[in-house]
Amino acid sequence: MKKLSLLVLLLGSSYAFSQIKIKDPLPTHGIFQEKKERKAAEYPGGIGTLIKDISKEIKTGRIRGARSGQIRSNAKFIVDLDGKIAKVEVTGDNQDLNSEVERVLKSMKTKWIPGEQNGTPVETWYRVPVVVNFN
């Protein structure tokens, strides 16, 4: 009888330890959002270096229109798996500034550090506001 109870105890404990444990059980109500570890794309040297590089390349002589105050554009682009810029979209009130910002971004040679999701490189959307002061 002792051997039988020892066998049942050993088999029972091994069965209990072989159960699969779920890290985070799914919620039974509400909105489910999967937790993913994400890392944004980075410009070598940081955002300050990116702003300096863009401002060096913008030729204000090509921007017609406002010569006082400031004008704004918003650039949106993808940093691909190789760290290159793709799918540049620029919006703003001054079409000349929009075209100039698009030209500058497309001509940048510096490669970005691509974004990551769970340790794997992924394409990442990135936004940059551009403001030109004419004061």
Tens-digit pLDDT profile for residues 95-113: 988 999 999 999 999 999 9
Integer Cα distance of 109 and 107 in angstroms: 6
- This prediction has a pTM of 0.67
Cα separation values, 15 from 10, 20, 62, 73, 107, Å? 9, 11, 74, 63, 62
In this predicted structure, what is the pLDDT of residue 119?
84
* Nearest-angstrom CA–CA distance, 31 and 58: 45
pLDDT in tens, 44-100: 999 999 999 998 998 877 777 766 778 889 999 999 999 999 999 999 988 988 999
Confidence class for position 24, pLDDT limits 50, 70, 90: low
Residue for token digits 């650039």? 75
What pLDDT shows up at residue 10? 57
The domain locations on the chain are 44-133
Task: Indicate the fold that domain 44-133 takes in CATH.
Answer: 3.30.1150
Q: Quote the strand ranges of 26-113, DSSP E.
A: 38-39, 70-79, 85-92
Q: How confident is the model at residue 128 (pLDDT cuts 50, 70, 90)?
A: very high
